[in-house]
Structure 1
Amino acid sequence: MQEYSALSVLVIDPNQHMRSGLHNMLTQLGITRIEHAVSAGTAIRHLEKKSFDLILCEYDLGSEQGQDGQQLLEDLRHHKLILPSAIFIMLTTEGVYSKVVSAAELTPTDYILKPFTVDVLAQRIARAVDRRSALLPVHQMTEQGRMREAILASEVSAAANPRYATECGRLRAEALMALGEMAQAEAIYREILEVRPLGWAQLGLARCQKEQGQLPAALETLQRLVDENPKFMAAYDMTASIQQSLGQPAEARAALEAAVSISPHMVRRLRHLGQVAFQSGDLEAAEKTFKQVVAKSKYSEFRDPEDHVNLVRTLVEKGDASAAANVLRDLERSARPGAATEVCKAYSAALVQGLNGKDEAARTELGNALRALGDARSISSAVKMGLAQNCLQQGMDEQGMELLDALAGDPASGVSEADALAVYERAGRAELAQNEGDSVERYLDGLVRQAAAYSGQGDQRGAIQVLQVAVRRRPENAGLMSALASAILRLMLDSGWETALGEQCAAILVRMRKTDPQHPMLSALSSQYVTLRGKQ
């Protein structure tokens, strides 16, 4: 058993007797680097400090908040506390296994059904170590952001280890999606589904369809997935997201409510449901849901001060100043210190002061929030838009417009010009949106003329840099995207293929296809890209 001696192991089980039993089994296998966690919270604190090669986790964690081992795994993956290459083995009963094995998008490396012997444990660890070794080159390339090399490594691993061919296909498809090559990823998922109707492959197919703008087809794929796996939670989440994009808030809410009825303890899903209810104007439902989120997050290692903000906003919208003030006090008492918390506290205080008619105090708090925002890295676009709206309502026009301008100009924010316009309208300041829009259009026209001048002088890189700024400001403008893609292709035609620019061009063409599939330049640019890509 000496080959296991280098493994570091974290055992997660609330039962002291079970932890001791597992510890003894592991020592019999020559494993001595063992640490214990009695709950999801203690496990997270261990994993924040160090990584482990192997995690053995009891499915039933006995948490007061109802979190089970599967939800812990999803949290760990979502917050990137464990690497994709980490071995995560779930310990569970046969009855639970039959219910969860086909329903999870993020599956453990393996399940072990209780009771089990040390020989069974040894066999499963051996199998997991073998799998990790086979897939490790792919994971390493992915973790380093080297997606082209990850794709090649997955092909090599599949040829050398046919038993892991399906998993290699999954990793290859995910790498292609990261590169924006949705059609190629879709082909892989369809190939996998021809062999087995795997839930994660159906979900991957739906993601590809969504990213290519095929929203009705994506919904059909997700409906088939839910029909076959009614407890596949990620399918409900994506369905709701697509329905929101289609302007179907009632349908999105129904999908999330169905998911919550099956799995009531996943905070991210409850948060999404509360946001949908708030946006649709159902303040009673939003209040109820956001209260659940705050309560369930209270003792979580991943609690987010924005949850209190969401609840304060809802109560302020209802006109309940007393309840909103109580939530603000709870935020001040319970939140961890940090810039994000300061933003949330000041913004919440501004909302309460505004409801109480204390506009000067509200403006002071908004100023505090904006100052803290400069040091905060984790504030969502939704909170920033709410902050901008409140600034506009309080007459802080310059600050509100500046914040919205920065959001609309940042592709990573997910905020479009239409979203920014809606904020102006909700704030009752539509006239500012018109002025801002005229100013931005003049600015963009100037950028396009500057790019044309650079191009005429033979400075394609200068033209590309200018057009990149314009596209960031108008990420949905197919004309600007076309000009940028054309400039990139012209440079690479003259100077040779450049991976970073090639990947950027591919992503632009995917966005063009989603935004304006009938754009007159799309076909020619796509053909030119494929030709250049084939020559590299």
Structure 2
Amino acid sequence: MNHKTAGNGSPLDDEEMLLVLQHSLTKKRVLLIDRHPPARDALRLMLGALGVTAVHGAGNSAEVIRQVKANRFDIILSDFVLDDGRDGQQLLEELRHAHLIPLATVYMIITSERGYTNVVALAELAPDDYLIKPFTAEQLQGRLVRAIYKKHVLRKIYEHIEASELLEAVASCDRVIQQQPLYMYDALRFKGELLHQLGRTQEAEEVYRRVLEGRVVPWAKMGLATALRDRNALDEAKQLAEQVLLEAPEFLSAYDFLASVHEAQGRLQEAQLVLQRAAEASPHNTVRQRLVGDVAARNKDFLVAEKAYSKVMERSRGSLLRSVDDFANLSRVLVERGDVEASRRIVGEMKRELRGDKQATLAALVVESLCLEREGAPAKATQLIDQALEMQQELSAEASEKGRPVSQRLAVDLAHACIATGKQADAERIMRQVAAENNDDNHLLGHIHNVFEKTGQVDTGKALLAEVSKEIVRLNNEGVMGARAGNFEESVRLLMQAADQMPNLQFLVNAAKAIYTLLDKRGWNDELAQRAGEYLARAQQKDRKSPKVASAKQMQLAVAKKYGVGPDS
């Protein structure tokens, strides 16, 4: 093991420190992931020799999900090759994406592929370490002890992030930077991301420039590019992302970023090509394949969209990331290509796999109506849409009551089917609501525009979206102006009304912030605090990393602290 220096100046591998860390290792709960039971047994024996006894095993992805939902693991050791064509790196992305394992969990990949060492340093969500087979118990112990120590150094950052205490997390980053030079760059990476999430773009940019003065690393260049994009320096941001792809073509998030810049500049064809390059380099990443499908569908490149959505279906089988939208996306594209029988097969698979799911039933009705309309059977298609509209109202009521969001993409598909069956008023009502609730989701707004375009109603679509935007601005201004004039009660009333009527990210955040401002000025009120918490939770569902959401969360924490209550009280 390399010589490391602890915060008190003692080397990490001196005898006393090693004994403390090795004793700590014996208390850890470990999950072993390998499709071969003998391999799990061998690793369990190796850990037993190191004094680790709380060891669980999983042979497939479904079992992994069950285990991490039931237990909090300190260490996860995953073989690189998994049971269903996915790999350990992809599993890590899914677990982090779904927030099923905390940042403090050590995630280590075991592989026989020596080439993996070149990839791991560039991964978007890198594991804490990797082990090349074969290895000894001593080598395993050394790697685990080193990883545990690093987690110990960064633990306060993790705790504050997971409690949404972002300002405190930034302060913890500064302490690590000052006191633990060995982990300075880890802390700087967290600090840059946190400042960006807080909307402090200029400070984030300074952090990344500081890193790049000392060493050129892809993540710092991409962090700087993100800061430049956020202040609308799109050309500079694009150039930096292109540099990263030349220097480190395996750094896949650079492709996604570059595609987003192309999209912001209205170059959808270029965005699609960049995403396709990334998908070829990482074919198992379902999130990216979904992006390829979305952009290709907007470009009317239905063959590429079909291939991408098919890969999503193939790779997400048994995955946390699978949804009704996956089935609906592929079914819709197949209808666009004129292959209604293939579309019906996908719907049949969805009905079997998601039996009892009302959204799946709604999707089946919508897709079948589009198939019937394509086949020249409008009367039958209309009957199905009548059923679908009833079911959508039922789902919307349940969503309000239980907080389970209805698929917005599916709602747009329903609107498309309404237009196709002559139910123009229903279509426009649905489109208005979706646009109002998702006014900052360019992919969804693009999907709406495409529906109007393919049904020969481009001008109608543009007018509808413009009216929605105008109404959003009007409602927001009324609420914000009330607060500026000191009429906090009226501001709260107006912004709550806007959030209830159009629960988009902007209104949900503004309503929450207006309530916290009122509580700060007038005193604590349990009922209002609960409403604010609900608005903020819904905003987090839409975009957990939004600077707007982060800002509202910091207000929540500050006001709750002022009155000595828990933030969720």
**Residue matched to 2:244:** 225
| Offset of residue 175 of structure 1 | 1.5
**Residue matched to 1:359:** 381
* Residue identity (%): 28
1:79 aligns with 2:107: no
SS in 1 for 2:114: helix
Query: Separation in 1 of the partners of 2:469 and 2:263?
Result: 28
**Residue matched to 1:56:** 77
**Residue matched to 1:122:** 141
Report runs of 4+ in structure 1 exceeding 6 Å deviation: 416-419, 467-477
1:344 aligns with 2:363: yes
Alignment of 1:229-244 (within 5 A): 229-244=248-263
Query: Separation in 2 of the partners of 1:450 and 1:263?
Result: 46
> Do the aligned partners of residues 444 and 137 (structure 1) sit closer, same or farther apart at CA in structure 2, a change above 3 Å counting?
closer
Query: Separation in 2 of the partners of 1:390 and 1:367?
Result: 10
Select 1:462's aligned residue among 480, 487, 490: 490
**Residue matched to 1:401:** 428
Q: Which moved more, 1:43-52 or 1:31-40?
A: 43-52
**Residue matched to 1:197:** 216
CA contact (8 A) 1:267 1:297 kept: yes
Select 2:38's aligned residue among 14, 17, 22: 17
1:38 aligns with 2:66: no
Amino acid paired to 2:431? L
Query: Separation in 2 of the partners of 1:104 and 1:371?
Result: 43
Select 1:307's aligned residue among 326, 333, 340: 326
Query: Separation in 2 of the partners of 1:274 and 1:197?
Result: 33
> Do the aligned partners of residues 417 and 131 (structure 1) sit closer, same or farther apart at CA in structure 2, a change above 3 Å counting?
closer
TM-score (norm 2): 0.76
Query: Separation in 1 of the partners of 2:479 and 2:116?
Result: 62
Amino acid paired to 1:18? A
CA contact (8 A) 1:189 1:201 kept: yes
1:254 aligns with 2:273: yes
CA contact (8 A) 2:33 2:77 kept: yes
> Do the aligned partners of residues 262 and 33 (structure 1) sit closer, same or farther apart at CA in structure 2, a change above 3 Å counting?
same
SS in 1 for 2:52: coil
**Residue matched to 2:11:** none
Alignment of 1:486-497 (within 5 A): none
> 1:201-233, CA deviations, whole angstroms, 9 ceiling, x for partnerless residues?
222222222232222222211111111111222
TM-score (norm 1): 0.80
Query: Separation in 2 of the partners of 1:355 and 1:252?
Result: 30
> Do the aligned partners of residues 205 and 344 (structure 1) sit closer, same or farther apart at CA in structure 2, a change above 3 Å counting?
farther
> 1:42-80, CA deviations, whole angstroms, 9 ceiling, x for partnerless residues?
22232232221100112233x442x21111111111121
SS in 1 for 2:115: helix
Q: Which moved more, 1:341-350 or 1:434-443?
A: 434-443
- In the alignment, structure 2 segments of 5+ residues that lack a partner are 1-21, 523-531, 537-569
Amino acid paired to 2:418? C
| Offset of residue 386 of structure 1 | 2.8
**Residue matched to 1:370:** 392
Q: CA RMSD in A?
A: 3.7
Q: Which moved more, 1:283-292 or 1:130-139?
A: 283-292
Query: Separation in 1 of the partners of 2:503 and 2:381?
Result: 34
Query: Separation in 1 of the partners of 2:234 and 2:472?
Result: 33
**Residue matched to 1:410:** 437
> Do the aligned partners of residues 469 and 155 (structure 1) sit closer, same or farther apart at CA in structure 2, a change above 3 Å counting?
farther
**Residue matched to 1:510:** none
> Do the aligned partners of residues 378 and 56 (structure 1) sit closer, same or farther apart at CA in structure 2, a change above 3 Å counting?
farther
1:165 aligns with 2:184: yes
1:138 aligns with 2:138: no
**Residue matched to 2:49:** 28
| Offset of residue 6 of structure 1 | 2.2
1:382 aligns with 2:409: yes
**Residue matched to 2:173:** 154
SS in 2 for 1:312: helix
Alignment of 1:456-535 (within 5 A): 458-460=486-488, 462-463=490-491, 466=494
| Offset of residue 173 of structure 1 | 1.6
SS in 2 for 1:55: strand
SS in 1 for 2:211: helix
| Offset of residue 474 of structure 1 | 12
> 1:393-448, CA deviations, whole angstroms, 9 ceiling, x for partnerless residues?
43434443333333333357625878756654544454486478568857965875
Amino acid paired to 1:5? T
**Residue matched to 1:293:** 312
SS in 2 for 1:315: helix
CA contact (8 A) 1:340 1:372 kept: no
Amino acid paired to 2:364? K
| Offset of residue 332 of structure 1 | 1.2
Alignment of 1:206-225 (within 5 A): 206-225=225-244
> Do the aligned partners of residues 256 and 444 (structure 1) sit closer, same or farther apart at CA in structure 2, a change above 3 Å counting?
closer
SS in 2 for 1:409: helix
Query: Separation in 2 of the partners of 1:182 and 1:115?
Result: 45
SS in 1 for 2:232: coil
CA contact (8 A) 1:7 1:33 kept: yes
> Do the aligned partners of residues 60 and 323 (structure 1) sit closer, same or farther apart at CA in structure 2, a change above 3 Å counting?
closer
Alignment of 1:321-340 (within 5 A): 321-335=340-354, 337-340=356-359
Query: Separation in 2 of the partners of 1:439 and 1:52?
Result: 47
| Offset of residue 365 of structure 1 | 4.0
Q: Which moved more, 1:418-427 or 1:273-282?
A: 418-427
Query: Separation in 1 of the partners of 2:98 and 2:122?
Result: 21
| Offset of residue 368 of structure 1 | 4.6
Amino acid paired to 2:388? L
> 1:100-142, CA deviations, whole angstroms, 9 ceiling, x for partnerless residues?
1233021111122322221222222211221111111111111
> Do the aligned partners of residues 212 and 447 (structure 1) sit closer, same or farther apart at CA in structure 2, a change above 3 Å counting?
closer
> Do the aligned partners of residues 299 and 94 (structure 1) sit closer, same or farther apart at CA in structure 2, a change above 3 Å counting?
closer
| Offset of residue 272 of structure 1 | 1.7
CA contact (8 A) 1:451 1:464 kept: no
> 1:491-528, CA deviations, whole angstroms, 9 ceiling, x for partnerless residues?
89x979xxx9xxx9xxxxxxxxxxxxxxxxxxxxxxxx
Query: Separation in 1 of the partners of 2:372 and 2:280?
Result: 36
SS in 1 for 2:154: helix
CA contact (8 A) 2:34 2:78 kept: yes
**Residue matched to 1:275:** 294
CA contact (8 A) 1:94 1:113 kept: yes
